Amino acid sequence: MIRVEKSTVVHRPSHEVFAFVADQTNAARWQSGIVEVRRLTDGPPGVGTRHTFTRTLMGRRMTGENEYVAFEPGKQVAFRTTSGPRLLASYAVTAMPEGTRLTATIEMDVSGIMSVAEPLVARALGRDVVANLARLTSILESSPAAAPADTLGAGQV
């Protein structure tokens, strides 16, 4: 089992950071390898919200699905894959005086033949997470300010 946890500080309010990472359709904008994410369920996001995603990995295109297994508005979202490689990922936000601390945690099961490459996969995954967080920070810090959280309607993210 590989576990990677990385954090960054984004100079934006926590409600903006959470809204962006909790909307997985934004993933193609900031995560390397993600080509497209589509939401499969209707209604406000929460536990049980499902998505389908397309990504490239080592030159191969693959699709999969995931489902939110935790959702605390403004604080944390976690999802697990329901097809493809077994993965559990979460994004947690914490308000700070200078902005928001965003912590990304990924746990990936590399069993079978892939287990011999676990150290290499772990290092590559760690590098990807750091690069993705830097890209996310750049996007959020260069975009115009969003409406404050208390002006959003119930269930909006």
pLDDT at 123: 77
- Can you identify the CATH homologous superfamily of domain 2-145? START domain (3.30.530.20)
Task: Tell which wins on pLDDT, 143 or 23.
Answer: 23
Residue 26 CA to residue 116 CA, distance in Å, equals: 33
| Inter-residue contact 31 to 132 (CB < 8 Å) | yes
pLDDT at 148: 52
Stretch 131-142: mean pLDDT: 94
For the stretch 54-110, pLDDT in tens is 988 667 788 899 999 999 999 999 999 998 778 899 999 999 999 999 999 988 877
Residue 118 has pLDDT above 80, yes or no: no
Residue 150 has pLDDT above 50, yes or no: no
Structure tokens at 125: 């995954």
Q: How many helices (H) and strands (E) does the chain have?
A: 3, 7
Stretch 3-27: mean pLDDT: 94
Q: How confident is the model at residue 1 (pLDDT cuts 50, 70, 90)?
A: confident
What does pLDDT average to over the chain? 85
| Inter-residue contact 49 to 71 (CB < 8 Å) | yes
Residue 46 CA to residue 22 CA, distance in Å, equals: 10
By the 10 Å C-beta count (0-12 exposed, 13-18 middle, 19+ buried), 145 is classed as exposed
3-class DSSP assignment, residue 157: coil
Q: What is the torsion angle, in degrees rounded to the nearest 10, for the CA atoms of residue 152, residue 153, residue 156 and residue 157?
A: 20
